[in-house]
Chains A and B, each alone.
Chain A
Amino acid sequence: MMRYVLGRLGGVVLILLAVCLFTYLIFFKLSPDPAVMICGKTCTPERIDSIRDVLGLNQPLLTQFWDFLSGIFVGRDYGSVHCSAPCLGYSFQTNESVWSMITARLPVSITVAVGAAVLWLLVGVIGGLVSAVKQGTWWDRSAMGLALGGVSVPNYVLALLLQYVLVVKLQLLPFPSAVPFADNPLLWFESYLMPWVVLAVGYACLYARLTRSNVIDTLAENYYRTARAKGLNGALIMRRHALRPALTPITTIFGMDFAGLLGGALITETVFGLNGIGKMAADSIAKNDQPVIMAVTLLAAFFVVIGNVVVDLLYTALDPRVRVVSS
């Protein structure tokens, strides 16, 4: 088991290195000259040269990449400015340290992701479960119809609609802003409610359909019939012989979806003007702010890769068939 974990972690390091290299090549080599971008409109060739010098753009590609990589772990110097580890460079737009931009915005993205995940798991899994048990009834059909509709609605449409109705027309909620929980718990909740709902709707619908079909498949399993033939009581049959097998595969999908969201909910954060990683990504792309784009790409890759490993390890704990093969 230990060997398996170490092997997986080694794989993680390799994947992250590869992602680093590719994003570096794409954003620094295939994009417009960063020195020209930083220099702006009134610019002299001498100034461009000196910027190149400070950023190390005159160095061979491999040296530049090494500087970038080692900056993350031990820090680096840009001319006279020292950027302490973990150094992801400075924004071309605001000269802010990219690392501090991330640490300031990550809590917002995490809040959005966790709240939405709780919501969609509750609604999706319970909805799907009830649908499966009441298969073919009026409830099942309307819930699944609704789920199909929910998956089809783009979330920026839903976001604008909710905002118009709840904030502008009915004035039930304040306009969303990233209020820290400690400052004002009620306002915090009201601010994040719409982003949570908007983000959760699509996932909840997907999870409801998934849960329903998984549970229905499990109810047709021979071991479910065995459990009934054994005379076990309904709750025990449901818990052990229907829910556990039906919900285990959902943890995999949930892990991946959740990890993906930690890298920022681009559309939701942008529409609601929440200053999270997603909005930062959107802004940096619009302004071609390469160090920031690079950092958010790496961050997203980091979460997805780690999420993957966590899900795999969790799965070995949840499904004995996987556990034995891996040990």
Chain B
Amino acid sequence: MSDELFVVDNLTVTLPTSRGPVDVVKNVSFTVGRDETVGIVGESGSGKSMTALAVLGLLPRGARTSGSVRLDGAELLGRSDRDLRSVRGNAISMVFQDPLSSLNPYYTVGLQISEMYRTHRGGSRSAARKVAIEALERVHIPDAARRVDHYPHQFSGGMRQRVMIAMALCCSPSLLIADEPTTALDVTVQAQILELLGELQSTTGTGMMFITHDLAVISSIAQRVLVMQSGDPVEYGTAEQVFSAPRHEYTRMLLDAVPRIDDEVLS
């Protein structure tokens, strides 16, 4: 079994715009090993999320991709939508930024977890419901057997993100893409979610691609970091390298922008 679970090689994403095609992701390469978390950092519009959507083939209509994206050696780019369905949620699953709008308000969280499980694993409704309850328990949602029948709006922000994570992990994917999973949450809840992701990763061995604009978050969980600016990969290395000795001007600028407790207060 190779160490490289997931390889992105020279990925370029081109979107059609009214002013012609624009490259929103340019020649991005990185790898994610088993058990490893790779952080992708950049401002909004830097191409982080487009990279993630390209992996799952969820780009907007008319988008073109080139390069290579491989999971366990199997190429994902250029596969048909139908073909990718068996990968989505199954081998690679995704947690999004805003858990309230990312969950369907018309269905219970239990149904939303079990519909995914049944799609990939089959089985009866009652078996899938059990899986959903177990998944909720795994993300430490209290009283999971009762909460499984609740609707998303009946959960708090942090609990909703736990539901999203429970759903993402219910089919034991080998790669989890977390797209700004803590951005919409307040700081204490953020810390809890990060802790949960770390804990789950150590028990499941899932590789993680963690997208954020928050360097503080990345420094606490990622082993390797890719810094992106306007679609370009500007720096790639271990977290220690990037944070202690940034080679690129842009990375230095991002690091300087992080407020520190010992900063002088402007009067």
Contacts and interface: CB of A to CB of B under 8 A. Distances in A.
Contacts of A232: 85, 89, 115-116, 119
A222 interface: yes
Contacts of A228: 58, 88
A221 B101 contact: yes
Contact of A230 (B88, B105, B153): B88
Given A240-B107, A244-B106, A320-B105, A231 B87 contact: yes
Contacts of A236: 115, 119
Interface string B190-227: 00000000000000000000000000000000000000
B96 interface: yes
Contacts of B105: 223, 245, 319-321
Interface size class of B (residues with CB under 8 A): 20 to 34
B156 interface: no
A116 B56 CA distance: 45
A189 B104 CA distance: 42
Contact of B104 (A227, A229, A231, A324): A227
Contacts of A244: 106
Contacts of A320: 105-106, 108, 151, 153
B98 interface: yes
B37 interface: no
Given A240-B107, A244-B106, A229 B101 contact: no
Given A321-B105, A321-B153, A229 B119 contact: no
B86 interface: yes
A233 interface: yes
Interface in B59-104: 84-90, 93-94, 96, 98, 101-104
Contacts of A231: 84-90, 116, 119-120
A186 B115 CA distance: 47
A223 B102 contact: yes
A319 B153 CA distance: 12
Contacts of B238: none
A225 B94 CA distance: 10
Contacts of A226: 94, 96, 102-104, 164
B154 interface: yes
A320 B109 CA distance: 12
Given A223-B101, A324-B154, A230 B116 contact: yes
A241 interface: yes
A246 to B, nearest CB: 11
B119 A223 contact: no
B104 A223 contact: yes
B116 A321 contact: no
B175 interface: no
Nearest to B177: A229
A63 interface: no
B135 to A, nearest CB: 13
Contacts of B136: none
Interface in A189-243: 221-223, 225-233, 236, 240-241
Between B115, B153, B154, the greatest number of chain A beta carbons within 10 A of the residue's beta carbon is seen for B115
A223 B103 contact: yes
B167 interface: yes
A230 B112 CA distance: 10
A123 B44 CA distance: 43
A222 B90 contact: no
B75 to A, nearest CB: 18
A230 B167 contact: yes
A222 B101 contact: yes
A225 B104 contact: no
Between B87, B93, B102, the greatest number of chain A beta carbons within 10 A of the residue's beta carbon is seen for B102
A240 B104 contact: yes
A228 B102 CA distance: 11
A248 interface: yes
Contacts of A233: 85, 119
A230 B119 contact: yes
Given A228-B58, A240-B107, A321 B119 contact: no
Contacts of B107: 240
Between A236, A320, A324, the greatest number of chain B beta carbons within 10 A of the residue's beta carbon is seen for A320
A229 B89 contact: yes
B93 A229 contact: yes
A318 to B, nearest CB: 8
Contacts of B101: 221-223
26 contacts: A221-B101, A223-B104, A226-B164, A228-B58, A228-B88, A229-B88, A229-B89, A229-B93, A229-B94, A230-B89, A230-B116, A230-B119, A230-B167, A231-B86, A231-B116, A231-B120, A232-B85, A233-B119, A241-B104, A244-B106, A245-B104, A320-B105, A320-B106, A320-B153, A324-B151, A324-B153
